Amino acid sequence: MVHDLVFTDDNDLVSGTVQVTTAAGRTYRVDADATGGGGYMAGGGYGGHHGKVRGRDHEEYDVYPLDGSVNAKTLDSALTDRSSTFTWDGQTGYGIFEYALTRSSSYQYQPTLDPTTAEA
């Protein structure tokens, strides 16, 4: 799979294209619109909380404001599930785009999709 994704400075996904090639050699190019925001995975067992026994009656949950005051760089896990609109071959669908970007300043996202290649 190759990709060309657009992120904010806070590592929030805005949009992008992924191209998947099947074992049979068929290529699919899918566009994503993730401007709806939200969907952080720092809760629900991610971010070092998973697997800690806290008693039979313990229930975990997290609440995050969707006003931009938290983001993938400020939470304890960069893993994000983003509600997205997907477009492929003139059809629109809806689903989750899951991703994580490193917070290290030594690395930055580099697209791998060649914009000159066409869908097979």
State residue 120's pLDDT score.
Answer: 47
Higher pLDDT, 46 or 32: 32
pTM of the full structure: 0.76
State mean pLDDT over 20-48. 83
% residues pLDDT > 70 (the chain): 84
Would you kindly state where each structural domain of the chain is located, as residue ranges? Answer: 2-99
pLDDT tens for each residue of 77-97: 778 888 899 999 999 999 999
Distance CA 78, CA 47 (A): 8
Task: Please give the residue that has the higher pLDDT: either 73 or 44.
Answer: 73
Gyration radius from the chain CA atoms: 17
Tell me the pairing of strands 2-7 and 13-21.
Answer: antiparallel
